[in-house]
Chains A and B, each alone.
Chain A
């Protein structure tokens, strides 16, 4: 699926200092009935964001106008649970391009990279610094530099580097996806299939 290229992102951030945020919270199962990839942002964190009667829960951070931006900062073990890519779509569709946490669940991380959301894993101490900076000033800007693989809290200047697979990095920088790459291996795939015992 095509997505916008990612280069350097400078934005304020939305804090969600909760651990083990699972994909059932990010997008509850009842919103998975769609057959197209649109409109998932409206239901991002649906049950934390809205009461059963659809009125907003005032205390939830996405309903607090002080916080905004293209970066979501979550607690440890973000995105555990179901493999639903809809969770990553919802994050992207809502307007986030980057999720920062001190630890990501595997499938969610993969899904993010496949749909154009950059997962940035930082140390627990750095994550804490980000939360503190936002608490001090909700408009505090964070700079995520993909070519450099660094993340900087602009008001304090604190900086950390992060890991990303070079292949995935290249894809992100160019807005490419894996299928284009695989389709070019057609001959290898046909040959492999022919000698495969199973």
Chain B
């Protein structure tokens, strides 16, 4: 029978099917961080059991860590305690732990691929919804809750009903100034934040084939924001090129064996999807969000839609605009902003820093703008320095922070103050996500850079033109 990419990877990991119930899925790699794991480890302790396969489990500290002075003790006692717990739990169970200051430390979804933990055809879970990022390599990767973290620690398996299959095609080419982030925000704005709920998405089409691995990660990362369980893409030469030789990828004969399996990871031509949608790359322009969920995005030159043009309740829509202090129909261009956040597992990789730097080069940060530039990992940080990007950023009036989730979820001190506007390259613009009362405009690194140097929402294409003219 013809199978989709998703079916192939899923079916290869099913240990048992419960009649009328979920399936027992074996998990190849489990990523653990400090926030969603302590209660799971406590559960193991109460049951008197150990982590079943510590060699399949990797721990990092990222969600709740400062982005300055990481060499000093963490000041907040609750955060410090959470970090200490993870370190202890990792030591007790023999799990590799890449804590603060470790050269491999960084955001869990950035360091997975960097260190070759993420490979095609694997099943990968983590107690964080943006685990979908790893789908860029042709893995089935999804976020889980703490009970499930405990489940995987205890048994390396998870009980899951098999999601339905959906394919999202984006054909054609992207216009200049349009990035993978814009493609994802465009799709979410079309499908809404619940448009893919119950599905596992496969991305297909020329636009994704043309994307770098970094770009593919950004797209898969945002799958969860359309409600999908996860998103994935077929591995190709770019994928194998990227992973080859990384620390945890198979070597020698093991690589060849894996390659035999990886070569099969394509959707069969006549395979059937439960749902399929298609878009054209040429129709997409740089995107920005105006509301309080990631589906509330528009092309940067379009105005905020009027209530009658959006799906869903008018009251909910009005509440959202009131929170942002925006009016229906208004233009987004020219809106003054206060903060810029470049970072997160969505856009905190080297390519994102290159894009940002490309725009700010030879310009100056707007004086009233506070900019937080937070690399996704120490490896990204090192590359920023090696490639000379840091000098350009400093010249333009920016500074670089130390890696972590930072203002993406604002559990640490990096909180946008109430009422302030932030153009953020992260993934969620929910009320209070970046700090109580904070107002978030999600966008690409290019849009963020344009806002950082002009102090307002600006079409980055204008600055790109000047740069290339």
Residues of A within 8 A of B (CB): 1, 17-20, 22, 24-25, 28-30, 32-37, 47, 52, 75-77, 80-86, 88, 103, 105-107, 110-111, 114-115, 165-168, 177-179, 181-183, 185-186, 188-189, 192-193, 196-198
Contact = CB atoms under 8 A, between A and B. Distances in A.
Nearest to B119: A198
B24 interface: yes
B53 interface: yes
A25 B227 contact: no
6 contacts: A18-B316, A30-B411, A33-B64, A114-B145, A166-B21, A197-B258
B129 A82 contact: yes
A102 to B, nearest CB: 11
A189 B154 contact: no
Nearest to B433: A24
A34 B35 CA distance: 8
Contacts of A75: 313, 316
Given A83-B144, A105-B197, A183 B257 contact: no
A35 B38 contact: yes
Nearest to B228: A106
Interface of B: 15-16, 18, 20-22, 24, 26, 28, 35-36, 38-39, 42-43, 47, 49, 52-53, 63-64, 76, 78-79, 81-82, 85, 119, 121-122, 127-129, 143-148, 150-151, 154-157, 159, 161, 163, 193-194, 197-198, 227, 229, 250, 254, 257-258, 261, 293, 312-313, 315-316, 319, 409-411, 418, 428, 430-433, 436-437
A182 B42 contact: no
Contacts of B159: 167, 178, 181-182
Given A47-B431, A47-B436, A105-B197, 15 more contacts: A25-B430, A33-B81, A35-B42, A35-B81, A75-B316, A77-B227, A85-B127, A103-B194, A111-B145, A166-B21, A168-B21, A179-B150, A181-B159, A185-B157, A198-B250
Contacts of B151: 178-179, 182
Contacts of B79: 33
Contacts of A86: 146
Contacts of B144: 83, 107, 110
A114 B316 contact: no
B131 to A, nearest CB: 8
Contact of A185 (B15, B261, B315): B15
B312 A76 contact: yes
A52 B415 CA distance: 14
A122 B382 CA distance: 52
Given A106-B227, A111-B145, A179-B47, A83 B261 contact: no
**Which A-B residue pairs are the 7 nearest by beta carbons?**
A167-B21, A85-B145, A35-B38, A33-B78, A114-B147, A83-B143, A111-B145
Given A47-B436, A103-B197, A189 B22 contact: no
B293 A20 contact: yes
B147 A106 contact: no
A140 B409 CA distance: 38
From A82, A88, A111, A165, residue with most partner B Cβ within 10 Å: A82
Contacts of B35: 32-33, 84
A146 to B, nearest CB: 16
A44 to B, nearest CB: 14
A1 B149 CA distance: 12
B20 A183 contact: no
A189 to B, nearest CB: 6
A83 B316 CA distance: 23
A171 B93 CA distance: 29
Contact of A30 (B154, B161, B410): B410
B14 to A, nearest CB: 9
Contact of B312 (A20, A36, A37, A106): A20
Given A83-B145, A185-B15, A193-B26, A179 B432 contact: no
A19 B194 CA distance: 11
Contacts of A179: 43, 47, 150-151, 154-155
Nearest to B436: A47
Nearest to B320: A20
Contact of B193 (A80, A114, A167): A80
B313 A19 contact: yes
A19 B411 contact: no
Contacts of A111: 145, 147
A82 B150 CA distance: 18
B193 A193 contact: no
Given A24-B431, A167-B21, A179-B47, A33 B82 contact: yes
Nearest to A80: B193
Tell which of B261, B316, B319 has the most Cβ of chain A within 10 Å: B316
B11 to A, nearest CB: 13
A192 B433 contact: no
Contacts of A35: 38-39, 42, 81-82, 85
Contacts of B433: 24, 29
A80 B194 contact: yes
Most chain B CB atoms below 10 A, which of A88, A167, A177: A167
A196 B316 CA distance: 48
